[in-house]
Amino acid sequence: FPGDMYSHDGDADEPEWVKTEREQFVEFRDKNRDGKMDKEETKDWILPSDYDHAEAEARHLVYESDQNKDGKLSKEEIVEKYDLFVGSQATDFGEALVRHDEF
């Protein structure tokens, strides 16, 4: 995909992000080393089996909202970052905030 986002257009030096993507492809994504990503390799890249999306999103919400860094979210902290929660898949795009009186 870097070819879709970057073309050489006479540039001798590639940007660092292109080099990094190339390395990631060779080292991790192209598991069978055939120079392209098949269906399974693409699936493993997009939805890695060892990555818990819900846990990652929950950690992100706490990290971004926990102003006093006590590891807990108060009603005030959630309200302060309301826009973050409304846009979160962990709260079904804010539906949980509408359905629950405690929020």
pLDDT tens across 46-99, in order? 888 888 878 888 899 999 999 999 999 999 999 999 888 887 766 665 565 556
User: What is the DSSP code (8-state) at residue 68?
Assistant: T
Residue 15: which residues within 8 A CB-CB, separation 6 or more?
A: 6
> What is the model's pLDDT at position 62?
94
Nearest to 48 by CA among 23, 24, 29: 29
Q: Residue 67 in contact with residue 77, Cβ under 8 Å?
A: yes
This model's pTM is above 0.75: no
> What is the model's pLDDT at position 84?
87
- pLDDT band at residue 101 under the 50/70/90 scheme: low
Nearest to 36 by CA among 25, 21, 50, 49: 25
Task: Give the span between the Cα atoms of 66 and 93, in whole angstroms.
Answer: 19
Domain boundaries defined on the chain:
16-46, 62-87
